[in-house]
Amino acid sequence: MEYRIEHDSLGEVKVPADRLWGAQTERSAENFRIGAGRETMPPEIIRAFGLLKQAAVWANHAIQPDKMPKEKAHYIDRACRMVAEGELADHFPLVVFQTGSGTQTNMNVNEVIANVASRASGMPVHPNDDVNMSQSSNDTFPSAMHIAALLILEDSVLPAVEKLTETMKRLEAENNDAVKAGRTHLMDAVPIRFSQEISGWRTSLERDAEMIRLAEEPLRELALGGTAVGTGLNAPAGFAALVAEKVSELTKKTFRTAPNKFHALTSRDELVFAHGALKALACDLMKIANDIRMLASGPRLGLAEITIPENEPGSSIMPGKVNPTQCEAVTMVAVQVCGNDTAVSMAASQGNFELNVFLPVLIYNFLQSARLLSEVMLSFEEHCVRGIKADREKMRENLYKSLMTATALSPHIGYENTAKAVQTAHRQGITLKEACVSLGLLTPEEFDRLYHPEDMA
């Protein structure tokens, strides 16, 4: 392999000749071989950094054109766009488990942008003096975290929730005539329309979307402008607000400068709150997926009140077996998100004095949760929920077997007499009608007049 010599404040470093990063990136790659090639910095963070650096270079040009002339800004801007668009993905090798402030990733971005701009322009572009002008890793990384988090929530998570919700609405409309046994404590309960059951699933998703949108608002605040400790040292007046405006233009999302940079550098409460909304979504998806797979259980010995698409063989030893695999994928993602919530919460609790130094692991888990939820919802909708069919005959059969339909008789013969009828029917293996008649509680004609399970929903 061929190398070139790069240098930083500690001296010279050999860097692979075909790589665009510089000395500080190379030192990090050598010093932190922890999850290399696997737990690397998420591409969403690299994209956010590209957008942030692009906004910063034009803010610097607008405020201090003597330090950032237009020609140099143009070449840096072009390199930033390449980073944001993923064209230089191979040049960001650093792992999550590095310095807790994300300084090495900030410098990785600075070095790549500086090298690309220098080569294209023929003029020297310095990673610190030019690309990192008016900035610190301590305010850029938190800002990139907020940008990445907001973008994935708005562009991936919410559209996936909405798509699944729309399918639920269609199923709800199609199944208003299907009445089935309700179940509480996993035991027989009074009747419910299948559409009503689906409406519970749908409303859970709608409420989750509302909570995610609420959690997005604090993420719109950017720490940039606080520099090292929140005082804004070396950042010119107006820089922070102008960068937020530029990021808003680039992303077509609303961002603003954080009013208190001391808070913005050290507290990660906004991401804890937002991940809490993702955890709520995960919990609801766990419930919905479990309901669906239990309702579809069978085909002969389970509830079998609905059918779901048969996507692949389910067993390597039992021929013909088909499993609710999409439901299982949803529940596994839900477990992962709940685990990630612990990591996010613990990381956010570790802000000490003027900085939190658990930033990379926090955003890694946050983005993983958002990505997995987005992808599993789209898969669940396409390969399972879209194809749900109610087995009305089986629903009716189970409905009329249910002894809890006797609840309709309670206003007429009383709670205790109804309980006697239920217990008699269950113990003797007879129908409710036969039990009521044998106990002298109702005549056959009275029972037929009062007992209509479909009307109980």
Tokens 């996936």 correspond to 160
- Buried-state track 229-256, b at ≥16 Cβ within 10 A, e below 16: bbebeebbeebbebbbbbbbebbebebe
Give the 3-state DSSP-derived string for 313-353, with helices as H, strands as E and coil as C: CCCCCCCCCCCCHHHHHHHHHHHHHHHHHHHHHHHHCCEEC
> What is the Cα–Cα distance from 278 to 153, expressed in whole angstroms?
9
Enzyme catalytic residues = 185, 315
Tokens 């570790």 correspond to 350
Tokens 């005549």 correspond to 443
Would you give the DSSP letter of residue 95?
B
User: Taking a C-beta distance cutoff of 8 angstroms, is the pair 229, 264 a contact?
Assistant: no
DSSP-derived pairing of the beta strands 355-356 and 351-352: antiparallel
User: Taking a C-beta distance cutoff of 8 angstroms, is the pair 355, 264 a contact?
Assistant: no
DSSP-derived pairing of the beta strands 221-222 and 256-257: parallel
Q: If we measure between CA atoms, which residue out of 30, 39, 147, 149 comes closest to residue 96?
A: 39
Q: Which helix (H) or strand (E) holds 372?
A: helix 359-383
First to last CA, the chain: 74
CA separation, residue 241 to residues 58, 115, 246 (Å): 12, 28, 9
Return the amino acid letter for 342: T
